[in-house]
Amino acid sequence: MNASEILKLLSLIGAAEPVILGYIKSLLENAHGMTGDQFLSEADGIWAQVKANAQQQLQPTPSPSTPQS
């Protein structure tokens, strides 16, 4: 199975979740011809997103605001 066949398969099975599928597709599409620096730069961006997601989840749930009269 080559990369394009896998991409087609992923499109079929992952249509319900475009965000995660987008990351997987980008892994496949961008892998060729990238340098070590480029890979590491992208990895750093992903780590920043993991950290931001975690911080968002760790924030206390805001109390409901009082309706303005």
Partner 1 sequence: MKHLYYVVSVLMVSLLLTGFSCDKYTKAGQLAKDFAATVLVAQQLETQAYNSGYIQPASHMVIQTKFSQLAAAGARLDQAINQAHSAQGAKAQIDVAASLLSDLSNNQITGIKDDKTRLAVQAAIVSCQTILDNIAVFAQ
Residue 13 touching partner 1 (CB under 8 A): yes
| Three-class secondary structure of residue 38 per DSSP | helix
AA identity, residue 19: V
Binding of residue 29 to partner 1 (CB under 8 A): no
- Does position 4 interact with partner 1 (CB under 8 A)? The reply is no
Q: Helix 3-13 to helix 18-30 angle, to the nearest 10 degrees?
A: 180
In angstroms, the CA 36 to CA 15 distance is 31
**Is residue 43 a contact residue for partner 1 (CB under 8 A)?**
yes
Question: Footprint of partner 1 on this chain (CB under 8 A)?
Answer: 3, 6, 10, 13-14, 16-17, 19-21, 23-24, 27-28, 31-32, 34-40, 42-44, 46-51, 53-55, 57-58
